[in-house]
Chain A
Amino acid sequence: EAGVAQSPRYKIIEKRQSVAFWCNPISGHATLYWYQQILGQGPKLLIQFQNNGVVDDSQLPKDRFSAERLKGVDSTLKIQPAKLEDSAVYLCASSLQRWEKLFFGSGTQLSVL
């Protein structure tokens, strides 16, 4: 079974630039999550989708972060403009349904200079 796919693997940008991350969840998984993991910390939920609808985006900095999940499958997370404090690993996860076990991708490591 293919896992959660994410790209790119690494990204380096300058502050105030824009960046986008892509995630393809495990086939058939209805729930998709984006987490932010700052170095030395545990992952923090940014946004959760159930199919193509948003379930929870309470911790998403909406002035600069946006996310969408077209057709309830792939998802993109965008940051515009980026700040230094956005440097982190962005993890995508999916689960079969809500309250089911999460499976994580390898993440995108973002460095903002």
Chain B
Amino acid sequence: GEDVEQSLFLSVREGDSSVINCTYTDSSSTYLYWYKQEPGAGLQLLTYIFSNMDMKQDQRLTVLLNKKDKHLSLRIADTQTGDSAIYFCAESITHTDKLIFGTGTRLQVFP
């Protein structure tokens, strides 16, 4: 089946690292994505990783993929108040156009 789960809430101090976790159930996913949603806005694609990769780094963002455990994480280094938002992981299912979203993790950054 298709199911993507995330913890609901994460609170970090400004300057610390944030780690947002995601687990998925469909082993045939091709790409895994991280989207950011700020209040009243649509989803903004942050980064993505192909399913045959273990890690991808993009400036302050590091994505780790453990395909065996079906676990995806997003690490934000030097977290800033502007990073406060809801973060959604999503998986695309091979040979379909389906993009399955998780429930989202609300990241709150305090000074």
Task: Name A residues whose Cβ lies closer than 8 Å to a Cβ of B.
Answer: 4, 6, 31, 33, 40-45, 48, 55-56, 91, 93, 98-99, 101-107
A75 to chain B, nearest CB (A): 15
A82 to chain B, nearest CB (A): 22
Task: Name B residues whose Cβ lies closer than 8 Å to a Cβ of A.
Answer: 4, 30, 33, 35, 40-45, 48, 88, 90, 92, 96-99, 101-104
| Total contacts A-B at CB 8 Å | 51
- Decide if B103 touches A42 in the complex (CB within 8 Å): yes
- Decide if B101 touches A4 in the complex (CB within 8 Å): no
- Decide if B40 touches A106 in the complex (CB within 8 Å): yes
- Decide if A42 touches B97 in the complex (CB within 8 Å): no
CA A48 to CA B102, docked complex, whole Å: 19
Q: What would 17 more interface pairs be, CB under 8 Å, given A42-B102, A104-B42? A: A31-B97, A40-B103, A40-B104, A41-B103, A42-B104, A43-B43, A56-B96, A91-B43, A93-B43, A99-B92, A99-B97, A101-B33, A102-B45, A104-B44, A105-B42, A106-B42, A107-B41
Between-chain CB contacts (< 8 Å), 19 pairs: A4-B42, A31-B97, A33-B99, A42-B90, A42-B101, A43-B88, A43-B101, A45-B98, A45-B99, A98-B97, A99-B92, A101-B45, A102-B43, A103-B45, A104-B35, A104-B43, A105-B42, A106-B40, A106-B42
Contacts of B48 in A (CB 8 A): 101
Contacts of B88 in A (CB 8 A): 42-43
B93 to chain A, nearest CB (A): 10
Contacts of B42 in A (CB 8 A): 4, 6, 91, 93, 104-107
CA A107 to CA B44, docked complex, whole Å: 12
- Decide if A106 touches B98 in the complex (CB within 8 Å): no
Select the residue from B4, B33, B41, B43 with max chain A CB neighbours within 10 A.
B43
CA A91 to CA B35, docked complex, whole Å: 14
